[in-house]
Amino acid sequence: MASLLLRPLRPLLLLFLFICAASAAHAQGLRIDITGVGEKQIPIAVSPFVAKDPSDRLLAETLLDVVMADLRRTGAFSLLPVGPQNPPLSDATTVNTTLFAQWRAQAADALVMGSISRSPDNQMEVRFRLLDTLRSEDLGGLALSSPVTMLDVRRSGHRIADYIYERLTGEPGFFSTRLAYVRREGANHVLTIADSDGENAQPALRSSQPIISLAWSPNGQHLAYVSFETGKPVVYVHELATGKRTVAANQRGSNSAPAWSPDGKTLAVVLTKDGVSQIYTVNPDGSNLRRLTRSSAINTEPSFSGDGEFVYFTSDQGGSPQVYRVRSDGSGSPERITFTGGFNARPVVSPDGRQLAFVARRDGNFVVCIMNLETRQEVVVSNGPKDDSPSFAPNSRWVIFSSRVGNRDLLSAASIDGRVRSRISLDAAGIRNPAWGKLP
What pLDDT, on a 0 to 100 scale, did the predictor assign at position 9?
A: 28
Predicted local confidence at residue 432, as pLDDT: 81
- Give the mean pLDDT of 23-30: 36
Residue 345 has phi, psi (to 5 degrees) of -150, -175
- On the question of pLDDT at 77 being above 50, the answer is yes
Element (H, E) at 59: helix 57-74
Which of 33-37, 103-107, 157-161, 393-397 is the least confident region?
33-37
List the domain boundaries for the chain.
41-169, 178-437
Closest CA to 73 of 402, 388, 384, 415: 415
CB 302 within 8 A of CB 279: yes
| Nearest-angstrom CA–CA distance, 160 and 140 | 11
- CA 184, 2, 234, 434 dihedral sign is negative
- Specify the pLDDT at position 8: 31
Residue 426 scores a pLDDT above 80: no
Q: Which helix (H) or strand (E) holds 389?
A: strand 386-392
End-to-end Cα spacing for the chain: 29
Higher pLDDT, 206 or 8: 206
H-helix or E-strand containing 277? Answer: none
pLDDT computed for residue 39 by the predictor? 63
pLDDT exceeds 80 at position 4: no
CA angle (341, 403, 77) in 5-degree steps: 100
If you write DSSP's letter for every residue of 114-149 in order, what string do you get? EEEEE-TTS-EEEEEEEEETTTTEEEEEEEEEE-SS
In 245-310, where does DSSP find H-type helix? none
Ranges 29-33, 230-234, 332-336, 412-416: which has the least confidence? 29-33
pLDDT at position 431 is 77
> Which has more pLDDT, 375 or 5?
375
- Is residue 197 a contact partner of residue 22, using CB atoms and an 8 Å limit? no
Helices (H), 110-251: 150-169
**What pLDDT, on a 0 to 100 scale, did the predictor assign at position 429?**
55
pLDDT value at position 163?
97
pLDDT of residue 404: 83
Residue 27 has pLDDT above 70, yes or no: no
- Determine the Cα–Cα distance for residues 298 and 82; give it in Å rounded to an integer: 58
Residue 24 pLDDT exceeds 70:
no
In 3D space, the residue among 227, 268, 235, 264 whose CA is nearest the CA of residue 251 turns out to be 235
Give the span between the Cα atoms of 392 and 390, in whole angstroms: 7
Q: Phi-psi region for residue 253, left (φ > 0), alpha (ψ -120 to 50) or beta? A: left
Please state, rounded to an integer, the average pLDDT across all residues of the chain. Answer: 88
Q: What is the pTM of this model?
A: 0.85
% residues pLDDT > 70 (the chain) = 88
HSE on the CB side for 256, CA within 13 Å?
19
Amino acid symbol at 262: P
Lowest mean pLDDT among 25-29, 250-254, 306-310, 360-364: 25-29
**H or E element that contains 245:** strand 245-249
CB 308 within 8 A of CB 261: yes
**How many angstroms separate the CA atoms of 132 and 101, rounded?**
11
431/189 Cα distance (integer angstroms)? 10
The mean per-residue pLDDT over the stretch 415-438 comes to: 76
Mean pLDDT of 318-345: 95
Q: Which pLDDT score, from 0 to 100, does residue 408 have?
A: 77
pLDDT single digits (tens) 29-52: 344 555 555 567 899 999 999 999
Interstrand relation of 408-415 and 421-426 (parallel, antiparallel or unpaired): antiparallel
**pLDDT for 19 beyond 70:** no
Hey, which of 99-113, 179-193, 199-213 has the most confident mean pLDDT?
99-113
pLDDT at 20 over 60: no
Q: What pLDDT was estimated at residue 202? A: 87
> What is the CATH number that goes with domain 178-437?
2.120.10.30
Which of the residue ranges 106-115, 190-199, 266-275, 326-335 would you say has the lowest mean pLDDT? 190-199
Q: What is the pLDDT of residue 287?
A: 97
- Is the per-residue pLDDT at 105 higher than 70? yes
Query: Which pLDDT value is given to residue 75?
Result: 82
d(CA 361, CA 369): 10
Residue 6 has pLDDT above 60, yes or no: no
Average pLDDT over residues 62-90: 92
Of 89-93, 281-285, 383-387, give the lowest mean pLDDT range: 383-387
Q: What confidence score (pLDDT) does residue 409 get?
A: 79
Cα–Cα dist 148/248, whole Å? 40
Q: Are 256 and 213 in contact (CB under 8 A)?
A: yes
Quote the CATH superfamily of domain 41-169.
TolB, N-terminal domain (3.40.50.10070)
Nearest CA to 313 among 289, 341, 278? 278
Rounded CA-CA distance 438/393 in Å is: 8
According to DSSP, residue 200 is labeled T
In this prediction, residue 412 has a pLDDT band, given cuts at 50, 70 and 90, of: confident
Provide, rounded to the nearest whole percent, the portion of the chain with pLDDT above 90: 72
